[in-house]
Amino acid sequence: MSDKLSPGCGKPAVRGYSILLVSFALILILAVSCGDEKLVQSSRLVFGTSCSISAPADADVESVWKRLAELDDSLGAHNLDSELSRLNGRAGQGWVNVSEDLHRAIELALEMAEASGGAFNPALGNLVELWGIGGENPKVPEQAQIDRALGHSDWKNIELGPDDTVRILDPELKIDLGAIGKGFAADEAARMLAEQGIDSALLNFGGNIMTVGRRPDGKMFRIGIQAPFEQRNSYNQVVRIAGESVVTSGVYERCFTGEDGTLYHHILNPDTGYPALSGLLSVTIIGPESAICDGLSTACFVLGVERGLALLEGFPGYRAIFILEDGSAVPYGISI
C-alpha cells in the first residue's frame, strides 16, 4: 500500500499539526496474515492505486477484475474518459442518463453529504483538481482560485432523477467520488465472490480492506493500523474482522509538503477549501459495508472527534478508531 504514500509528505507540518519527523510510511493499514496459504493473491492497478484480491485458487477472480475495471471507467475521476467525467462535462445541461452504478454511487455520496451536514461533499471536483494532491504537480492554489471553486461546490446542486438520471444544476460544478469509490467497488467485488460461493477472501483496494467470511483456518482476519510516526509495521491497533470492511482516511495517504514546510493532505474541508485540520491524523471505520466505511472515514476526518462521534451514532454497526495528533487512539464501539 505504500504506493499511496507520497514521499514528499515527510516534512514537519505547521498550520495546527504538531507533526515531527513524518516518515513517508506514516500510517498505513496492513492486512496481517491471511493465516493460510490457500488464498492466492493477485494485484492490479485500478482506481489509480494498487489493488489486490486474495481468494481461493478456484475463485473466478478474473471476472471480478473485469467488473472493477468497468467501475473504474464509470466512477473514476482521474480518468478523463470516465462516465463521471462525461457527466461533469454536461453540468448545467439538464438531465443526463447514467449507468446504474454511477447513479447508485452518487446516491450514496449524497446520503453521506446529508448525514454529515456537508462535511462529506461529493461536489468538490474543482477544489480537488486545483490542489492536484496525489497527482504529479500538487500546489497551494491562490486564495481567489479557492474562493471561486468553493462557489461551485454546493452538493445540493446535484439531483438524482428516476431511471438512472442525474442533473447538475450549476454548470461549473464537478462531482468527485474519490472518497467513496474504492469502498463502493470493494462491496461489489465481495458480493461477486460471495455469489460464486467463495467463503474466504481478503480485498485490499489501496488501503480499503474488505473481507469475505473468515480466514481459511476459521479465524478472523487481523487488520493492523500502523502507528503514526513509528516504524513501518508497528501498529497502533490491530482489529479483527470477518465479512466486514476496514477503511482509513488519513493525512498521510496523499499529501505534499509546501515550501514553508506545511503538510497539505488530500481531505479537504468544504468550508475553507483547505486540507481539513480537525486535530486528527487518521480515522479508521470498521463495519459491514465498505462504501459506508469509506464515506464515514472521510466525513469523520473532516468533522473531528466530537462531531464525528455524533455522526457515527446514526450508523449502527459501524465502529471507529480516531488517531489524534499526539498518536493516541479514541475508539468507538470497539475495545482496544
Q: Phi and psi dihedrals of 247, rounded to 5?
A: -130, 135
Contact between 120 and ligand AMP (CB under 6 A)?
yes
Report residue 86 as a C-alpha cell: 462525461
- The whole-angstrom separation of Cα 173 and Cα 152 is 5
Q: Cell 473481507 sits at which residue?
A: 211
Q: How far is the CB of 162 from ligand AMP (least distance, A)?
A: 25
Q: What do you get for the CA distance between the two ends of the chain, in Å?
A: 24
Contact between 292 and ligand AMP (CB under 6 A)?
no
Burial of 325 (0-12, 13-18, 19+ CB in 10 A): middle
Q: How many CA atoms lie within 13 A of 70 on its CB side?
A: 12
Contact between 128 and ligand AMP (CB under 6 A)?
yes
Amino acid at 42: S
Q: Which of 49, 200, 236, 249 binds ligand AMP (CB under 6 A)?
A: 249
Q: Which is nearer to ligand AMP, 44 or 78 (CB)?
A: 78
Q: Which is nearer to ligand AMP, 239 or 251 (CB)?
A: 251
Contact between 302 and ligand AMP (CB under 6 A)?
yes
Q: Which of 13, 84, 87, 179 binds ligand AMP (CB under 6 A)?
A: 179
- Cα maximum dimension of the chain: 57
Q: How far is the CB of 302 from Mg ion (least distance, A)?
A: 10
Q: Which of 124, 146, 321, 329 binds ligand AMP (CB under 6 A)?
A: 124
- The whole-angstrom separation of Cα 288 and Cα 317 is 7
- The whole-angstrom separation of Cα 101 and Cα 49 is 20
Burial of 240 (0-12, 13-18, 19+ CB in 10 A): middle
- The whole-angstrom separation of Cα 43 and Cα 1 is 11
217, 242 Cβ separation under 8 angstroms: no
Contact between 223 and ligand AMP (CB under 6 A)?
no
Q: Which of 176, 187, 244, 289 binds ligand AMP (CB under 6 A)?
A: 176
Q: How far is the CB of 310 from ligand AMP (least distance, A)?
A: 17
Contact between 22 and ligand AMP (CB under 6 A)?
no
Cα-only R_g, the chain:
19
Q: Which is nearer to Mg ion, 179 or 329 (CB)?
A: 179
Q: Say how many residues make up the chain.
A: 336
Q: How far is CA 328 from the centre of its chain?
A: 22
Contact between 13 and ligand AMP (CB under 6 A)?
no
Q: How far is the CB of 150 from ligand AMP (least distance, A)?
A: 12
From the list Mg ion, ligand AMP, none, pick the one residue 303 interacts with, judged by a Cβ distance below 5 to 8 Å according to partner type. Answer: none
Contact between 263 and ligand AMP (CB under 6 A)?
no
From the list ligand AMP, Mg ion, none, pick the one residue 120 interacts with, judged by a Cβ distance below 5 to 8 Å according to partner type. Answer: ligand AMP
- Binding part of the chain for ligand AMP, among 17-25, 58-66, 117-125, 209-217 by CB under 6 A, reads 117-125
Amino acid at 295: G
From the list ligand AMP, Mg ion, none, pick the one residue 270 interacts with, judged by a Cβ distance below 5 to 8 Å according to partner type. Answer: ligand AMP
Kindly report the number of other CB atoms within 10 A of residue 122's CB atom.
Answer: 24
The size of the interface with ligand AMP (CB under 6 A), counted in residues, is: 20
Q: How far is the CB of 36 from ligand AMP (least distance, A)?
A: 30
Q: Which residues bind ligand AMP (CB under 6 A)?
A: 120-122, 124, 128, 134, 176, 178-179, 249, 253-254, 266-268, 270, 294, 297-298, 302
